[in-house]
């Protein structure tokens, strides 16, 4: 990928200010989404910038992809592909059977989403509501008779989430280490300057 992407992960409370900025740029309902921020997956760059976000709403064995937002559409299709990789892993872990979307962009159709058949439409959960653009697109993730997700798959998802959180904690620790070093250096410099001034003042007094 050309985009400097570090990770795709679930949004946290720390992401909310930046998520709100992305939603505002896309003219999405910020007040509606803020209480549901955990429903969103986010793409984070190597420098910690939020590159994009995608809503992922689950209802039983069905999942809906909705309301995407990107800081720049230059890499939108690349980020959609990475989001889709992440969602497929989540689908294996959660036992999702179908993924639905009412997003109308060609990028999702290129990833395998096709217009739903009348038979498939009978399986759309009521929780997903009506498609924003009038058409549901769907992709089959697994057989409905497939076995439920294994413990190993659950552990894999937990490890991915833990790694993302660990990376964030390490970045915070580095930030506070640098800040502490700056403060100590400033304090030492200030002390040295004041000690020098004090000695100069003493010498002037003694020389009188």
- At residue 70, the pLDDT reads 95
CATH code for the part of the protein at 5-149 = 3.40.630.30
Contact 111, 123 (CB under 8 A): no
Q: How far is CA 207 from CA 75, 193, 196, 199, in A?
A: 72, 21, 16, 12
Give the span between the Cα atoms of 56 and 50, in whole angstroms: 17
- At residue 151, the pLDDT reads 55
Contact 94, 58 (CB under 8 A): yes
- At residue 121, the pLDDT reads 94
Read off the DSSP letter of residue 84: H
Does the pTM exceed 0.75? no
- At residue 178, the pLDDT reads 81
Segments making up each domain of the chain, as ranges: 5-149, 151-208
- At residue 155, the pLDDT reads 65
- At residue 188, the pLDDT reads 79
- At residue 154, the pLDDT reads 59
List per-residue pLDDT tens for the chain, 208 residues long: 567 788 999 999 999 999 999 999 999 999 999 999 999 999 999 888 999 999 999 999 999 999 999 998 888 999 999 999 999 999 999 999 999 999 988 999 999 999 999 999 999 999 999 998 789 999 999 887 755 555 555 566 677 777 777 777 777 778 788 888 888 788 878 877 777 777 776 766 766 5
Question: Which two structure tokens, joined as six digits, stand for 1?
Answer: 């990928």
- At residue 207, the pLDDT reads 63
């Amino acid at each position: 990928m050309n985009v400097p992407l570090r990770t795709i992960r679930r949004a946290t409370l720390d992401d909310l200010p930046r998520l709100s900025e992305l939603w505002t740029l896309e003219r999405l309902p910020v007040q509606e989404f803020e209480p549901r921020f955990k429903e969103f997956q986010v793409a984070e760059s190597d420098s910690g910038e939020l590159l994009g976000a995608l809503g992922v709403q689950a209802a039983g064995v069905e999942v809906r992809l909705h309301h995407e937002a990107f800081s720049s559409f230059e890499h939108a299709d690349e980020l959609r592909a990475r989001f889709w990789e992440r969602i497929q892993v989540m689908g294996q872990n959660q036992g999702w059977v179908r993924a639905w979307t009412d997003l109308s962009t060609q990028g999702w159709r290129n990833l395998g989403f096709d217009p739903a058949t009348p038979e498939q439409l009978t399986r759309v959960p009521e929780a997903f509501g009506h498609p924003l653009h009038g058409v549901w697109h769907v992709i089959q993730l697994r057989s409905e008779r497939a076995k439920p997700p294994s413990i190993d798959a659950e552990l894999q998802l937990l490890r991915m989430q833990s790694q993302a959180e660990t990376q964030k904690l390490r970045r915070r620790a580095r930030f506070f280490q640098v800040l502490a070093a700056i403060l100590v250096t400033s304090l030492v410099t200030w002390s040295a300057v004041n000690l020098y001034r004090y000695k100069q003042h003493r010498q002037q007094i003694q020389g009188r």
